[in-house]
C-alpha cells in the first residue's frame, strides 16, 4: 500500500500513479504555456486518478473536469480572469475533458453568495487549496519549467492512497462536504468517508 510508505516514496508513487492519466499529464504540460502565477492542477482530477488506479479502474474514469488554480491579485476584475479562461480554451483545445481555470484572488468576491459563508481573500494558491471541504482534496501539482513536478499536499498523501475522505472544516459548510462525499462514495464505493465533526 502506497499510503504506508515513507513520504518520499509516496511522492514517487504519486507521480507514477498520476502519470497513468494521459489527459492529466497533457493538461499539466499545456498549462506551463499559460505561465500563470502560482498555478496548480488541483482537486478531483488528482485524487480521483489515484482512487481509480488503486481500485483498478481506468485512470480518467468518472473525472468531470480538470481544475487549474492560479493567484493574480494585480487585477481582480472578471474581465481579466475571463481573458485567461479564453486563452486556456485555446491552449486546451482538443482534449477529451473540460479544463476549468480560476483566479483564486477573486474567490472572496463571490464565495459567500454561492455558499452562504464569507471567505477571506486568499494570499496564495496554496491557501486556497487549504480550504477545500475535505483534506483529501487538498492537493496541487504543477510541472516546473525544468520538467520537475512541484507537489503541494498539506495533509500528506496517506488518506488519498488509502481511500479515506476526511472533512476539513475550515471554510466550506458541512452540507458541501457531505454532498461531495456522497457523490464520490456512489462512484467509488471502496471509500471510507469520515463524518463531519460534531
pLDDT value of position 116: 87
Q: Are 61 and 54 in contact (CB under 8 A)?
A: no
The number of angstroms, rounded, from the C-alpha of 22 to the middle of its chain's C-alpha atoms is 16
Q: Are 20 and 178 in contact (CB under 8 A)?
A: no
5 pLDDT more than 80: no
pLDDT value of position 128: 96
Write out pLDDT tens, residues 112-155.
Answer: 898 888 999 999 999 999 999 999 999 999 998 888 899 999 99
Write out pLDDT tens, residues 65-105.
Answer: 999 999 999 999 999 999 999 999 999 999 999 999 999 99
Q: Are 132 and 138 in contact (CB under 8 A)?
A: yes
What phi and psi values does residue 60 have, to the nearest 5 degrees?
Answer: -95, 5
pLDDT value of position 77: 96
pLDDT value of position 11: 82
pLDDT value of position 38: 95
Q: Helix, strand, or coil here: 142?
A: strand
Q: How many residues does the chain have?
A: 198
Amino acid at each position: 500500500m502506497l499510503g504506508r510508505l515513507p513520504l518520499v516514496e509516496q511522492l514517487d508513487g504519486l507521480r507514477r500513479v498520476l502519470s497513468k492519466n494521459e489527459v492529466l499529464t497533457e493538461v499539466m504540460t499545456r498549462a506551463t504555456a499559460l505561465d500563470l502565477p502560482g498555478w496548480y492542477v488541483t482537486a478531483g482530477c488528482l485524487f480521483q486518478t489515484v482512487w481509480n488506479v488503486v481500485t483498478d479502474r481506468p485512470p480518467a474514469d468518472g473525472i468531470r473536469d480538470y481544475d487549474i488554480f492560479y493567484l493574480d491579485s494585480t487585477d481582480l476584475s472578471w474581465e481579466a480572469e475571463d481573458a485567461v479562461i479564453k486563452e486556456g480554451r485555446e491552449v486546451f483545445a482538443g482534449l477529451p475533458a473540460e479544463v476549468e481555470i480560476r483566479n483564486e484572488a477573486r474567490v472572496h468576491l463571490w464565495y459567500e453568495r454561492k455558499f452562504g459563508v464569507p471567505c477571506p481573500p486568499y494570499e496564495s494558491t496554496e491557501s486556497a487549496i487549504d480550504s477545500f471541504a475535505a483534506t483529501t482534496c487538498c492537493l496541487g501539482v504543477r510541472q516546473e519549467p525544468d520538467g520537475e513536478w512541484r507537489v503541494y499536499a498539506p495533509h500528506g498523501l496517506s488518506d488519498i492512497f488509502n481511500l479515506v475522505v476526511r472533512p476539513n472544516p475550515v471554510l466550506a459548510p458541512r452540507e458541501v462536504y457531505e454532498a461531495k462525499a456522497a457523490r464520490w462514495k456512489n462512484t467509488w464505493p471502496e471509500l471510507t468517508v469520515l463524518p463531519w465533526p460534531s
